[in-house]
Amino acid sequence: MFRSIACLFSLLFVVALIGCGSGGGLRVEYVEGVLTLDGEPLSEASVTFVPTSDGPTIETAMGMTNDRGVYKLSSMNGKPMAGAVAGEYKVLVSKVHAESLTDGLEYGATMGYAVPYRQTQLLPHIYRDMQETPFSATVKKGKNKIDLELKSKP
């Protein structure tokens, strides 16, 4: 009996080691940049790099801007703020304001209920649309600095 349990745990240990190998994720390249709106840093905006080519070796990457407008990308299968897979992308930018519709009654959220809210987009539609966005980017091997300059009235 002891021998069977020992074999089972040994097998589970080997499977766990194989599953935790270092080759599990895609290779990403570091990407950061500054996002400005009419020349001023834009905080709390999301920046999304959407691949323009199909394939298993490229995926969407995204980041949020800080108070200085700086974003650092994270890919879906990469480490946080490590970057994006090398390749060609369309770049989408969005900033929203979410307003609770519960008139300050926050008890719903603490009790596990969905709290209704209204979401207002604060940037022109052109920056959120794959067909209209004026931004494209190439992520190359190594460090990438990709600044984006938005206009209130594009």
Do the Cβ atoms of 33 and 148 come closer than 8 Å?
yes
Please determine, for residue 108, whether its predicted confidence score (pLDDT) is greater than 70.
Answer: no
Per the prediction, the chain carries an average pLDDT of: 81
pTM: 0.74
Please determine, for residue 16, whether its predicted confidence score (pLDDT) is greater than 60.
Answer: no
The CATH number of 22-95+124-150 is 2.60.40.10
Question: Could you read off the pLDDT of 120-141 as tens digits, one per residue?
Answer: 899 999 999 999 999 999 999 9
**Residue 28: CB partners within 8 Å, gap ≥ 6?**
61, 75, 78, 79, 82, 83, 84, 85
Query: In terms of DSSP bridges, do strands 148-150 and 70-72 run parallel, antiparallel, or are they unpaired?
Result: unpaired
Name the band, by pLDDT with cuts 50, 70 and 90, for residue 106. Answer: low
Do the Cβ atoms of 73 and 31 come closer than 8 Å?
yes
At 137, which amino acid appears? A
Question: Could you read off the pLDDT of 37-84 as tens digits, one per residue?
Answer: 999 999 999 999 999 987 777 899 999 999 999 999 998 777 788 999
Name the band, by pLDDT with cuts 50, 70 and 90, for residue 117. Answer: confident
Enumerate the domain spans of the chain. 22-95+124-150
